[in-house]
Amino acid sequence: MTGSYEGDLIRPLGLVTLYAAYAEGEIDELLGVLPSETPFGASKREWPVGRKLSYALKLVRKLKSDQLSGLISALGEAQTLFSKRNFLVHSQIFAGGRVVSNRPDASIQKVGVDDLVQLAEQIFACKEQLWIHRSRCLMPMLAPPGGQDDAPKATFPPR
């Protein structure tokens, strides 16, 4: 896959950005179902992703369940990956993959096509892990006792 980019850093950086947007959408979905004193509304959706991740970790840890250890781990991984993404997106990338941070004390780094593709794939995989843990662990835990079996059965045609 990386050979098709032939040294072009723009397209793989675009993948990093696109997959990060998908991952942030999953983080928003997670925050939308986590129990909280205040709903995850429009103003919280505008938070930077780092703040969303910290808030999600805080809410998940409040649930105090060993079943959510995988979700906590995936959120920690997301923090690391978004930190890398933020560094790249908010830096200047020059020919040859030279990355110059906008922070005056940061050293110059190098990035290649393979590095960017790998980061994009890691972000996508992390998004999938967040979805899996939300769907398979968190949602069943938050479901009302008895689940759907206690809900009235629909009949057709309505009586």
What pLDDT does residue 103 have? Answer: 84
Q: Is 64 left (phi over 0), alpha (psi -120 to 50) or beta?
A: left
Q: Supply the pTM of this predicted model.
A: 0.85
pLDDT (0 to 100) of residue 105? 86
* pLDDT score recorded for residue 119: 98
* pLDDT at residue 124, as a whole number: 98
pLDDT of residue 21: 98
pLDDT, residue 112, reads 93
Per-block mean pLDDT, blocks of 10 residues, the chain (159 long): 64 96 98 94 95 98 96 98 95 90 88 96 98 96 73 48
What pLDDT does residue 159 have?
A: 44
Cα–Cα dist 14/116, whole Å: 9
The pLDDT value recorded for residue 74 is 98
DSSP character string of 22-60:
HHHHHHHHHHHHS--SS---HHHHTS-HHHHHHHHHHHH
How confident is the model over 21-46, as pLDDT tens digits?
999 999 999 999 999 999 999 999 99
Return the structure tokens found at 4.
Answer: 């098709």
